[in-house]
Amino acid sequence: MDLTVTRAPRIAKPKSKDVKLTDVNRLWAAVVARDATHDGRFVYSVATTGVYCRPSCASRLARRENVRFHDSCSMAEAAGFRACQRCKPDQISLQNGYAAKVTQACRIIETAMVMPTLADLAAAIEMSPFHFHRIFKTTTGITPKAYATAHRRKVVRDQLSKGQSVTEAVYDSGFHSSGGFYAQSTDLLGMSPTAFRKCGAGMRMQFALAHCSLGEILVAATGRGICAISMGDDAEALRRDLHHRFSDAQISSGDKSFNKLVAQVVALVERPGGNMDLPLDVRGTAFQQQVWAALKKIRPGTTASYSDVAKSIAQPSSARAVALACGANPVAVAIPCHRVVKSDGALSGYRWGIERKRALLDREATSKPSRTKK
């Protein structure tokens, strides 16, 4: 008896879901820039090598026509690609786990009445002190101790700005005694606690808001010079922040001559590298002033690490303090704290947003600084 074998109909395997075509140009730009902020959001595969990578992979850039984008590692693998052994995109989940641990440690620091020791923090998140210290610094760019100091500064400033007494602010921020607080008050506030509580009393300043390619920008100045340059997405939020910081100052809208100064600031954002010396009225500690002066010496188109800046002011062991001084810079662009990066060249935090920092550096890298003869 003859048997007729009927082959089962072939069922096509579903193709892996790729990202929308409308996003391709944006994703390709992230790959070209090796933008680490996109790691974990998507991966890209290369047809000629058979591997898939994270956007920040340092391997040689593939030709655009050989690249595909995928929403996840599993989708790239379903399409027949294997993980790159250089950037290890399939291990991003481990890094996300580390980020969660660091976030947990930050919350512990912020809510503790007494600053926990490194050993206590490490034990709380089930890590060794050495490993915890390393991943905390890698993730945040600063040590747990420096983070605690920055948090104390924020609490003190917020409490004094709300009208609390110095004594209340001392204990709310985690200091054990007023003596310990006063010993650090100048570094924390940039002035004495009493002066800080005045919130600009007796000061007169003008301000104006403008729009630039990086969003909204606010410029404020006293009779001596510019005291604030802020950038953000919400103009009203920038205005509120200025009035909060200088709540007792006499603040008025800028006149026509002031608008010329604002135009100069906007020009500095749009066309970096020019030889523009803006008048400044910035107030800070002696150390902060020293750091800010050093930042102004970093030429457009170049960068320096926090350690480089520390060495330039003859304090090579103060890299962490330099980072805090950069974070306290009140005038974006005019004092170019955006030119300071990590020792490995990676971008670290920026008061006005890491994307703005990247954009400023990219513009300066492609702009030839104008030079004047002395």
Question: Among 275, 258, 274, 278, which Cα is nearest to 332's?
Answer: 278
The sheet carrying 250-253 orders its strands as 226-232, 215-221, 204-212, 250-253
Single out the catalytic residue among 57, 84, 326, 337. Answer: 337
53 labelled catalytic: yes
Angle between helices 129-140 and 144-161 (to 10 degrees): 60
Distance between CA 88 and CA 360 in Å, rounded?
30
Distance (Å, whole) CA 353 – CA 374? 36
* Backbone CA torsion sign across 284, 156, 336, 255: negative
| Catalytic residue selected from 53, 57, 84, 87 | 53
Residue 337 a catalytic site member: yes
Secondary element (H or E) of residue 53: strand 51-53
Residue whose tokens read 């930050």: 106
- Closest C-alpha among 41, 48, 47, 99 to residue 70: 41
121 neighbors 140 (Cβ within 8 angstroms)? no
Q: Nearest CA to 214 among 252, 163, 267, 176?
A: 267
Give the catalytic positions in this structure.
Answer: 53, 337
